[in-house]
Chain A
Amino acid sequence: MAALINLTIDGRAVKVPPQTLVIDAAKTVGIEIPAFCYYEGLSLAAACRMCLVEVEKMPKMMTACTLPVSEGMVVRTETEQVKQARKYTLEFLLTNHPLDCPVCDKGGECELQDMAFRYGAGESRYTEEKVHTPEKQFSPVVFFDAPRCILCFRCVRVCNEGLGVGALGVINRGVASEIAPNVGDHLECDECGACIDICPVGALTSGAYRYHTRPWEMTHTGTICTHCGDGCKTTLGTRNDQIIRGNNRDRSGINGEFLCIKGRYAFDFYDHPERLQSPLLRVNGKLEEVSWAKALQVVAQKFTQTLADGGSFGVIGSNHTTNEENFYLQKFARQVLRTNHIDHHRTGDVVTLLDALSGKTTQLATVQDLYERKAVLVLGADLALEHPLLSYQVRANYRHHQAHVYVVTPQEVREDKYAAATVRGRDYESLRDKLKAEPELVILFDDSYKGEDLRKLVDFAESLAIPVKFICLLDYANSRGAVDMGLTPELLPGYQPSGQPGMHVDEMITAELSALWVVGANPLKGAVQRKAGFLVVQDMFLTETAQQADVVLPAASAYEKNGTVTNTSGEVQRLTRAVNTMGAKPDLEIMGFLARDMGAAATLGPWVPETVFAEIRQTVRGYEIPMPVMATGGAAQTVPVKGRIVVDSGVEFRPDLIHSDHNGLFASGTLGRYSKVLNSVLENRLNR
């Protein structure tokens, strides 16, 4: 590492690496230099003039956000001249800024308000009429109020650089300058809302949040987004048991402050009018609302009776439920219902990957690796649409570290634009020489690489003789956790062989089982007729599967329960309950009550997430993760690779059953249908 640079800021000695900007150097010793346009990770703008400081031997005040440190530099940030400059800058920014703070969404958490309070002048000399332009709606999500804008260009830069979309620009000049959308009067973009969150003032506001609350009236709960498998942390702002907004401004979690439309706005399925809030029981062919006690009793009795009669059970688990719920469910199935017919919708071949990796030097990558490693190879997936966070990390890696990105996909993808090499199709072998020359590599692959193909890929990676890490792309919030927790007939939790055959999802829905228990899944979509004698469904909505059920038990959403989920790169994170929905219960609790009513509670243990997680830590390979990391809201990677995964004779592992839904930005399986914001964006595009 290069020698550190010595400089003095406000009389304090500061040592920082070369190329550090004065504004960042000041931060290291706790000196705040105010700025609007400066934003870590984005290009420099020097547009707002708020960060002016005095530097010895320089004739004029300098913008601390663009000035790199140099040896012996003497910086002063609190002189009369600097204070005066800040006052003037604020006075200038406020000339056309409306005084509508009392009704502005940003009021209370507005950077301009805070700056005016700390550094501003109490009065303005500007007596002319303010320029006013009416508010505009750019999209169902994004509203723009031009007079509030202070032209810091953060939104333009985050959209261009951070998201790689470039949907915002600045048109006109001088006092008429304003932010403009990319297509005429509206936006055609990812609707991620990054521009809204990054706006220091209330110029960009979101259709979902605007005029709903004052920021200080909300309680904030950090939890994990329940949509795709990337595992972004979203901080839900709640009031009176209602989720009002999602964002991650504190940059906690593996995603920093990145969120896509699903993490930021698509929590809104939780209060959809069709949300189930009472158990339903089929009486005379129709589903009728009944009490929880009644519904649980019916299911427990039926299960007990079926057991006594020697009937057959099938259990289908979910990609969305927590690790604790999945673990408890498989335990319930195997130990109480004494069946190995347990499965879930598999979206990627984790099993073959883990097996193929045993005895090799290759490893599993984390989300952070995508930002830090020198080269990335994307296989099959349209990363930007299906895995927005991973795509964001790769893009940031390219932007900040000039990482080499290789793309091997059947269709054009956004990564092509900055890829070092692009191959259409599957021929990654053709990149061998280029990849061999890289110091290290992360490989991401989707469901089109499974079974033997995947083994070949791992061998290929091994033959490159460079450090390689893998990410197996999976669809949903806890797709990885479902495999880890043994929701498959061939494997128990921690990839231990089950040793006995069992039915897969496709077989279970076509077999004439005595009882089928579906937890948070929709296997009967597409007008599949149920075959099971008795069908119990735990879900939030009356899905195609629930419509055919004998008993429907209303389940809590991910935002209404505690527990842990494991993302596509195997990082375990904690869900924290943000709200409660009347009538719905967490799946774990439902299973616990069923166990109690069947007299099996002693076998299965308490249905408390913490207790179940403690058991998982003790018994599931790879989950011996450090508790302090989890407890503080961090992510800990599970590394279950310790030897081959043996699937016993008579039990076949079936990679052919794996298929991904390939959800785009505005889709999220069955759950996506119930999100108002995702639907509104789709409808808006159709109607245009």
Chain B
Amino acid sequence: MTFSPQLEARFDKLLKSYPPGRQRSAMVPMLLYAQDEIGRITDELVNEVATRTGCTPLQVNEVLSYYSMLHTKPLGKYHIQVCTNISCLLRDGDKLYEHTCKKLGIGHKEVTADGQFSVEEVECIGACSWAPAIQVNYDFHHHVTPEKLDQLLDGLGKKQ
């Protein structure tokens, strides 16, 4: 399996960051970066990471299925993660989540037909001070209201 030169360089650096024989420590970041490039984690990628870290594919699958930020199904171009944990919940995070679903016409971990958006109800994203918060891909958005969300989604939709 081939990756972009940048990703290959990143993998090399990662695998050298750990003492010999502990290369499996690089598994999670490798999966995460590869997911960013490929869009999801494929069986081929699992085997590739297993080979490079000296593990069995099953051991990669164990990790893969444990972490909720690793996905085996394609996500939308913009992955909207709405927090409904306690701080956000107290500031109407649950209503924000429902609004998002309604606006996009999809549910938890679903993708819009055009592949632009996907929604996920997530646990605490560490932005309690600015609740309710959402995360779009790696970007945080604070004090989100349904109106702000609409603007955001419309803006992203136009960007294409």
Contacts and interface: CB of A to CB of B under 8 A. Distances in A.
A421 interface: no
Interface residues of B, number: 8
Contact of A172 (B56, B59, B65): B65
Contact of A182 (B57, B65, B66): B57
Contacts of B56: 166, 169, 182
Nearest to A170: B62
Interface string B45-84: 0000000000011110110011000000000000000000
A168 B57 CA distance: 11
B47 to A, nearest CB: 11
A169 B66 contact: no
Interface string B98-110: 0000000000000
Contacts of B57: 182
A537 interface: no
A419 to B, nearest CB: 15
A582 interface: no
Contacts of B59: 166, 169
A236 interface: no
A171 interface: yes
A166 B66 CA distance: 18
A169 B61 CA distance: 9
B58 A173 contact: no
Chain A contact surface mostly: strand
Contacts of B62: 169-171, 180
Interface string A159-201: 0000000111111110000001110000000000000000000
B61 A180 contact: yes
A180 B66 CA distance: 13
A586 B87 CA distance: 79
Nearest to B59: A169
Q: Which of B56, B58, B66 has the most CB of A within 10 A?
A: B58
Contacts of A168: 58
A308 to B, nearest CB: 69
Contacts of A181: 58
Interface residues of A, number: 11
Contacts of B61: 169, 171, 180
Contacts, number: 26
A167 B56 CA distance: 9
A168 B62 CA distance: 10
A166 B65 contact: no
B20 to A, nearest CB: 15
Nearest to B60: A169
A180 B57 CA distance: 12
A172 B58 contact: no
Contacts of B66: 171-173
A193 to B, nearest CB: 19
B50 to A, nearest CB: 11
A173 B59 CA distance: 14
B66 to A, nearest CB: 5
A167 B57 CA distance: 10
A112 B66 CA distance: 26
A123 B61 CA distance: 37
A43 B32 CA distance: 29
Contacts of A167: 58
B65 to A, nearest CB: 4
A166 B60 CA distance: 12
A181 B62 CA distance: 11
A169 to B, nearest CB: 4
A170 B59 CA distance: 8
A182 B61 CA distance: 9
Nearest to B61: A171
A181 B66 CA distance: 16
Q: Which of B59, B65, B66 has the most CB of A within 10 A?
A: B65
A172 B66 CA distance: 5
A337 B66 CA distance: 72
A77 to B, nearest CB: 33
Interface in B14-58: 56-58
Interface string A428-452: 0000000000000000000000000
A170 B58 CA distance: 9
Interface in A118-172: 166-172
Contacts of A172: 65-66
B56 to A, nearest CB: 5
Interface string A193-225: 000000000000000000000000000000000
A340 to B, nearest CB: 55
A189 to B, nearest CB: 11
Nearest to A166: B56
A168 B59 CA distance: 9
Nearest to B66: A173
A632 B121 CA distance: 64
Contacts of A180: 58, 61-62
A21 to B, nearest CB: 25
A180 B65 CA distance: 11
A170 B60 CA distance: 11
A169 B58 CA distance: 6
A304 B95 CA distance: 101
Contacts of A170: 62
A486 B112 CA distance: 80
A163 to B, nearest CB: 13
A180 B58 CA distance: 8
Contacts of A182: 56-58
B71 to A, nearest CB: 14
Nearest to B64: A171
Nearest to A173: B66
A168 B56 CA distance: 10
A144 to B, nearest CB: 14
A180 B56 CA distance: 13
A311 B108 CA distance: 89
Nearest to A167: B58
A543 B31 CA distance: 56
B34 to A, nearest CB: 19
Nearest to B67: A173
A182 B65 CA distance: 14
Nearest to A181: B58
Contacts of A173: 65-66
A159 to B, nearest CB: 10
A93 to B, nearest CB: 21
A114 B138 CA distance: 51
B12 to A, nearest CB: 24
A173 B62 CA distance: 9
A32 to B, nearest CB: 32
Pairs A-B, 5 closest by C-beta atoms? A171-B65, A169-B58, A182-B58, A169-B62, A172-B65
Given A167-B58, A168-B58, 16 more contacts: A166-B56, A166-B58, A166-B59, A169-B56, A169-B58, A169-B62, A171-B62, A171-B66, A172-B65, A172-B66, A173-B65, A173-B66, A180-B58, A180-B61, A180-B62, A181-B58
19 contacts: A166-B58, A166-B59, A167-B58, A168-B58, A169-B56, A169-B58, A169-B59, A170-B62, A171-B65, A171-B66, A172-B65, A172-B66, A173-B65, A173-B66, A180-B58, A180-B61, A180-B62, A182-B57, A182-B58
